[in-house]
Chains A and B, each alone.
Chain A
């Protein structure tokens, strides 16, 4: 039990639709990151939010966007879904920006299938 909860756990969307995934961080953690994990691959960093501001972004197009709320919960939004967006989306929270001083905790993920 990491204290990081994600919803929904599974969902199916049609190409071109939009999706919102949600994450509740571990208590006291002000930093949240999102990762995309394609089947059989390692997770890829999408972006990080710190105190409600984006603080770093990986190689993902602008149709991937996020929000962090004052209670440090977070959303990942993906517009104009493509088949290649099918993956496990992981939320990770930490008590520091660098992820070195404090452990990064991952949720169990949201499985997105785009058909």
Chain B
């Protein structure tokens, strides 16, 4: 079945460091890919998405490129801030399922220190 695998955390970085959180997926067909963020005490928020191969999603300085050849959707940011500390989830959905069912990875905790 479909699945998403993320790098294990926690990831601890100093402010202004470069961030990469790895995400790979297994799915039939052409899934749409998402990154969601969960700040402490809050619900999930969509960070960015890509719906076809080679698409790049971007938002708030974060970027991720849909790489079908490597089945990956790694999240990157050039310079992290303390306010980026949160749990990040990679997810996929298959339009053909017609349910909007999101399949999530296990989440990666990011802690940014001043």
Q: Are A99 and B100 in contact (CB under 8 A)?
A: yes
Q: Are B102 and A48 in contact (CB under 8 A)?
A: no
Total chain B interface residues with beta-carbon distance under 8 A: 25
Q: Are A43 and B93 in contact (CB under 8 A)?
A: no
Q: Are B99 and A56 in contact (CB under 8 A)?
A: yes
Q: Cβ of B101 < 8 Å from any Cβ of A? A: yes
Q: Are A98 and B93 in contact (CB under 8 A)?
A: yes
Q: Are A97 and B99 in contact (CB under 8 A)?
A: yes
Total chain A interface residues with beta-carbon distance under 8 A: 30
Contacts known (A42-B106, A98-B93); A103 close to B101, Cβ less than 8 A? no
Query: A6 — nearest CB in chain B belongs to which residue?
Result: B43
How far does the alpha carbon of A31 sit from the alpha carbon of B102 in the complex, in Å? 14
Contacts known (A56-B99, A106-B45); A100 close to B51, Cβ less than 8 A? yes
How far does the alpha carbon of A90 sit from the alpha carbon of B107 in the complex, in Å? 15
Q: Are B107 and A100 in contact (CB under 8 A)?
A: no
Q: Are A48 and B89 in contact (CB under 8 A)?
A: no
CB neighbours of B4 from chain A (8 A): 42
Q: Cβ of A4 < 8 Å from any Cβ of B? A: yes
Nearest Cβ in chain A — how far from B50, in angstroms? Answer: 11
Cβ-neighbour of B89 out of A42, A96, A108 (below 8 A): A42
Contacts known (A56-B97, A100-B51); A45 close to B102, Cβ less than 8 A? yes
CB neighbours of A66 from chain B (8 A): none
Provide the B74-91 mask, 1 if CB < 8 A to any CB of A, else 0.
Answer: 000000000000000101
Cβ-neighbour of B46 out of A42, A43, A103 (below 8 A): A103
How far does the alpha carbon of A40 sit from the alpha carbon of B9 in the complex, in Å? 11
Closest 10 pairs between A and B when the two form their complex, measured CB to CB: A99-B100, A56-B99, A42-B104, A106-B44, A108-B43, A106-B43, A45-B101, A98-B95, A100-B32, A42-B106
Extra A-B contacts (19), CB below 8 Å, given A98-B100, A104-B102: A33-B100, A33-B102, A40-B106, A42-B4, A42-B91, A42-B104, A42-B106, A45-B101, A48-B99, A48-B101, A92-B44, A98-B95, A99-B100, A99-B101, A99-B102, A100-B32, A100-B95, A104-B46, A109-B43
